[in-house]
A and B are shown apart, each in its own frame.
Chain A
């Protein structure tokens, strides 16, 4: 086993919901409800799930952009969740984020040079000339022309803006980059350019990624290890070949079956994904009032009475080495 750069244990993020005359707490949104996983140094951990499953909140909580409700985050061997404000500020230089929307995540009034060098200025790294040189180097690394430095975000296409976002994330020489749906707002022919760039940068700088996406094929392509989230829970984690090849959780199975067109793409001889399951009916329940017992039971074709018992979360089973599933009746 290689060394883990990030260890997340039983991480929870609950948001109080207030209402009524005195803004009393009337409920809790359990956005992230006890997730645990490790991310190996230099590797990619993929987080997949439908919208509202808590994958973005998980990312923000790991970076402590949101304070965790409970649980621990160990980064590079240190307890990241217990750091005070100043320590946190320093430690965060090792972790950066790439956002989904390259249109709203870049300040339209700043030149590209100013956007990329902002983290350097915030942390007082290098002289002005050194910062300028660093920007020039970063532009080259992400495949943008040098003259991009003095231009503004609106002059660039979506793909080029995402390259600017990546350059900004690289400015502090981070160890970990969390990429939250980095290509979902881009066109198909541009996506591959950005994905290949992310992969090249990982090799070049030994980066560790958490790659968040709703597109399963994309997550599989990018991540050797993956986790499937549903209603704030990690329902299945493991090597992506395993998880997609023989999914053990009924939700994972249904999610794979719902990927459109999988049938035509693959010829039987190179079939590595599981046989299609019955389509899921119904909608994802509200995280404000998650179902008792297993959160998936109302939509689950395999649910039995004990899956619905309040206060009894589904059993966690290791179905194969490193392949874990939270389900009372996992798929064989």
Chain B
């Protein structure tokens, strides 16, 4: 097996508040190979975006603080780089696209200018060449009549088009890893499927590793090779997409998957619901973080913290019950 491009080891990130640290990311380890898509799934506040921002060292500090851990890009620890070196990594070796393409683009510059700017930052080319490359990139992300659209301002484009521009900017420097944080959440389904297709196609062409952050298991099923499910700052289960969706073992994963309405369910199917709400990460539960909401929790679950343990076949699960299989 190839050496993974991006490796995150035991990452711990806190948000410091007056009432104490919020344990947003609490010992997350993951690895992304070239050409592979790893989906990081979870509900809001589970720490999936904080993980991505920590990898990019974009956690606003203060209040954010990367407490410990390592982020290795081809063996180089990004957490030890100087800020100027890190700037070369961002948008260079690792690119990121965000949920809301309107707020991520500058409204007062044309999209062609913004894509060219991304090229100029990472490549020694003339402005004219950068403009030309920008048009090529816009073409590559499926924007029709790219030379004309390059002169458009972001507000003249639809949401799907803007997300294509964001992707063009992210690809400007041929990144090794693309981090996509809910890239289609703001888009309609028909546009969403176009963007997902585009990401998949470009990933194959460029042999990128993709870390896809989402809350939607449908998207996971569609594009991910492997999945890591996060709950309350920790990865609770990890495995290949097919195996994990077919046979989820952690009670949280199982609950989450069965609470989503499926297209093939007949009308009126009662949905499984996980009672309660996610814990407050200022003061997380002492034992298993899911124990207060878990239907299968035993006494030891409330006292001992489970570790993420391998169960074979590249699967890992964090459950004292061993993750009973259905």
Contacts and interface: CB of A to CB of B under 8 A. Distances in A.
A218 B264 contact: no
Nearest to A216: B263
A39 interface: no
A217 B193 CA distance: 16
A264 B44 contact: no
Chain B residues touching A, range: 35 or more
Interface in B241-281: 241-242, 245, 255-256, 259-275, 277-278
B263 A279 contact: no
Chain A residues touching B, range: 35 or more
B262 A266 contact: yes
Given A187-B43, A189-B256, A220-B267, A254 B190 contact: yes
A191 B259 CA distance: 8
A150 to B, nearest CB: 21
Contact of A217 (B220, B262, B278): B262
A248 interface: no
Given A50-B189, A279-B193, A283-B191, A266 B271 contact: no
Contacts of A199: 268, 270
A49 to B, nearest CB: 9
A195 B220 CA distance: 23
Contacts of B188: 50-51, 214, 284
A307 interface: no
Given A157-B277, A187-B43, A279 B194 contact: yes
A188, A218, A222: which has the most chain B beta carbons within 10 Å? A188
A127 interface: no
Nearest to A286: B158
A187 B216 contact: no
A202 to B, nearest CB: 10
A260 B222 contact: yes
A323 B268 CA distance: 19
B215 interface: yes
Contacts of B190: 50, 254-255, 258, 279-280
A214 B192 CA distance: 13
Interface string A211-251: 00011111011111000000000000000110010000000
Given A187-B215, A189-B259, A255 B267 contact: no
Given A217-B265, A220-B265, A280-B190, 4 more contacts: A216-B263, A255-B190, A264-B245, A279-B193
8 contacts: A214-B189, A221-B265, A260-B216, A261-B216, A261-B219, A261-B220, A266-B263, A283-B191
Interface of B: 43-44, 158, 160-161, 188-194, 196-197, 215-223, 241-242, 245, 255-256, 259-275, 277-278
